[in-house]
Amino acid sequence: MDQTYMKERPILPLMLSMALPMTISMLVNSLYNIVDSYFVAQISEDAMTALSLVYPVQNLVTAVTVGSGVGINAAIAFYLGANRQDLANTAAGVGMLLNTMHGLLLTIGCLGAMPWFLSLFTRQETVLSMALQYSHITLLFCLPIAVSISFEKIFQAVGKMTVSMASMMIGCIANILLDPVLIFGLGPFPVMGITGAAIATVFSQLLTLVIYLIVYFTRPLPVRLTLEVPKAIGNLCGRIYLVGIPATLSLALPSLLISALNAILTAFSQTYVLVLGAYYKLQTFLYLTASGVVQGMRPVVAYNYGAGETRRLRGIFRTALGLIVGVMVLGTVLCLAVPQALIGLFTANEETIQLGSTALRIISIGFIVSAVTVTISGMLEGLGKGLPSLIISLLRYVLLIIPLAYLFSRRLGAVGVWHAFWVTEFLTALVSCLLYRKSAPHK
């Protein structure tokens, strides 16, 4: 199938056609995250705290599987741009095999480590019990999640964004509908509490996978899952991991960050852990939407780079940056204008709402400038330059924010943690620009 439109079509219409379906699906996914947390919060604040403590491990699973998927995506698009159909097919087959192995290892490792991990952050028996109930169900399905995400990145690599959009949206909508039914026991279903939330989550993930499988086996794609070039498998593993490992680490680092910040905030009050968890649920509305733009941009960048269209890359970068800035402006306005309403989705406690409102107003200072960092990272991944993208993520999630959060909290209390967010975004954006100028192709 002809993919040359990626280097011939005007950039803005091309980017919108690639990014808009993914942005819409990410918006729905963001809504799911918020609605899911809203229903869990109706159980109790302990339930919301339990969900917040499990989140870093769930994010780790997502990081490994999506990170590997990014490597698959970049490899397929690059070889299609270079007119190497056989290598594109082999990249898809090798990538699926690798990510399936990742899913199996994650299931075993995360389930085994979960009791120890949770004990690091709370001694409350109710919170521990709820967190284990939720995690034991959701982590059993790491393998199908890995397969589903691999299909997602394969479809995106060949420009089939509407398939990814439909699959993800149907799964998210199913989760939203099932949450109140299973949590509160509507109709013929018994009250299941946080266990019901976990069952709704895994059902929606399996539904998404089923849709991908149906489309793959019933409709033609520009690539197939094969191993047409066995001699190239070693090199392909290297190419996939060259981008996939930095992408994985970039996505996994928020888990380390949240765990570190939870440790700092616990010294002040367990309430701040809930506030941090609520913020990370809310910020998915912004950063998952921005991720939709990046996911649309990445295969276009890789294809044009593989085809030698380096001059076109600058226009792609500017267009993506403009779209992501628009998302961040909207997020900033909402956090400054109605922070109480946003935090009120997760708790009815007035003190928690006030503490959360303060956090949102401070953290949102860095939203707009973070658009630069997000766009540059996505651009570098599309170019196959995983190392500078990893450096950016290390600065943003570990090397700057954790030390700053600790130091600021010593001087300003818990509010100092919130200030560390925007300071880190400004510093990281500056470094990102320097790395991009050095790493991007210039012609």
What is the structure's pLDDT at 6? 65
The whole-number pLDDT of residue 443 equals 53
Angle 393-396-402 from CA coordinates, rounded to 5°: 125
Q: Compute the distance between CA of residue 173 and CA of residue 366 in angstroms, rounded to an integer.
A: 31
CA distance 235 to 42: 51
Number of helices (H), then strands (E), in the chain: 17, 0
Write down the pLDDT at residue 5: 62
> Beta-carbon neighbour count of residue 100 at 10 Å?
17
User: Is-contact 296 15, C-beta < 8 A?
Assistant: yes
Residue identified by tokens 């870093």 is 56
219 conformational bin, left if phi > 0, alpha if psi -120 to 50, beta if neither: beta
| Packing angle of the helix pair 367-382, 45-81 (nearest 10 deg) | 40
Q: Where are the alpha helices (DSSP H) in 161-220?
A: 161-184, 194-218
Query: How many alpha carbons fall within 13 Å on the CB side of residue 285?
Result: 19
**Cα separation values, 414 from 57, 264, 272, 336, 361, Å:** 24, 8, 8, 19, 14
3-state secondary structure of 310: coil
Give the pLDDT confidence of 45-64 residue by residue, as tens digits.
788 888 878 878 887 888 88
Give residue 358's pLDDT: 92
Contact between 353 and 344 (Cβ < 8 Å): yes
Residues counted in the chain: 443
Residue 266: predicted pLDDT: 85
d(C-alpha 205, C-alpha 213), whole Å: 13
- Angle, CA 291 vertex, CA 288 and CA 292 arms, to 5°: 95
Q: What is the chain's alpha carbon radius of gyration, rounded to the nearest angstrom?
A: 21
Write the pLDDT tens digit of every residue in 147-164.
999 998 899 888 787 888
Q: Give the separation between CA 67 and CA 47, rounded to whole angstroms.
A: 29
What is the tens place of the pLDDT at every residue in 280-324? 878 877 887 888 888 788 888 888 887 777 788 888 898 899 999
Buried b (16+ CB within 10 A) or exposed e, 255-282: bbbbbbbbebbeeeebbbbbbbbbbbbb
Under 8 Å between Cβ of 346 and 274: yes
Angle at alpha carbon of residue 184, lines to 182 and 189, rounded to 5° = 50
Residues in the chain with pLDDT < 70? 1-8, 22, 25-34, 442-443
What pLDDT, on a 0 to 100 scale, did the predictor assign at position 280?
Answer: 82
CB 192 within 8 A of CB 47: no
- Between CA 219 and CA 86 the distance in angstroms is 19
Domain coordinates of the chain in residue numbers?
10-439
